[in-house]
Amino acid sequence: MVQQLSLFAKVEANQHPLLTKVLSTLTGLPPHKLEYLSLLMVPKNIVKYEPNSKNAQFEQHRLKLNTSFDPSKQKSDYKEWILQATDIPSAGKRKTLTQNLVESCIVLNESQNIESMFDKLGYAVEKEFVVRGQRWCYGNVVIKVFQVLVGEERTPLDSSYVVKCFVNVDKTTDVELLQRSTQELLSLKNELTGLIELEIPDRNSMDSRIGIRK
């Protein structure tokens, strides 16, 4: 399990080329292409929440499956996936968004298919989208600038771009490392002030739990 510290911003399409140039100059690196297909998996059987019952002991979450996007492939052609489970970001007064997440690789053999496999596990595809954009590294911070593409035509959900700056901290208990990572993110925020405003989003928007408790 890693702890992900992140800050987000939105950049309008007309500012995007400028941001690309600024980030390339700042990091001294050309952008890396970022393009992956995401499947949002939802449990087929949603257990009704009843206080004081056994069900109260666990919560159901959505799962995310990511794989590098290839337009020529069908969904069943992808054999390598990354399964991602995320917790709701931590509450409280914080300088960055802090979220626990677990990722794991799934490699299927030729006869297997991701949908049927997750069907057996009791999950179904709820949404499918492609994330397309660019990626930079700045010290320990990874900067992603992307659009979410939806539908068969892969049309952008929104004309604007999302900027996500994050640091993954391996040890969730390493306070010193967490402080240093926070500091790095904040100095990047300072550096980019005026061009984009990196902020903490609403933690509820990144809550992948099934909404029976809400």
Query: From the CB of residue 32, how many other CB atoms can be counted at a distance below 10 Å?
Result: 12
Among 83, 160, 177, 180, binds other proteins (CB under 8 A): 160
By CB under 8 A, residue 21 contacts other proteins: yes
Nearer to other proteins, 137 or 175 (CB): 137
Place of tokens 């509450």: 91
DSSP class of 31? P
The answer to whether residue 102 forms part of the interface with other proteins (CB under 8 A) is no
Residue 92 near other proteins by CB under 8 A: no
Residue 155 binds other proteins (CB under 8 A): no
Instruction: Note whether 148 and 131 are within 8 A (CB).
Output: yes
DSSP track, 183-196 = HHHHHHHHHHTTT-
- Among 44, 7, 30, smallest CA distance to 200 is for 7
Nearer to other proteins, 15 or 113 (CB): 15
201 binds other proteins (CB under 8 A): yes
> How many residues bind to other proteins according to rule CB under 8 A?
39
Rule CB under 8 A: choose which of 1, 18, 121, 175 binds other proteins. Answer: 18
> Which of 54, 174, 60, 201 has the alpha carbon at shortest distance from 121?
60
The alpha carbon dihedral of 19, 148, 84, 111 has a sign of: negative
List residues binding other proteins (CB under 8 A).
8-10, 12-18, 20-21, 24, 28-30, 38, 40, 42, 62, 64, 86, 126-127, 129, 131, 148, 157-160, 162, 201-202, 205-208, 211
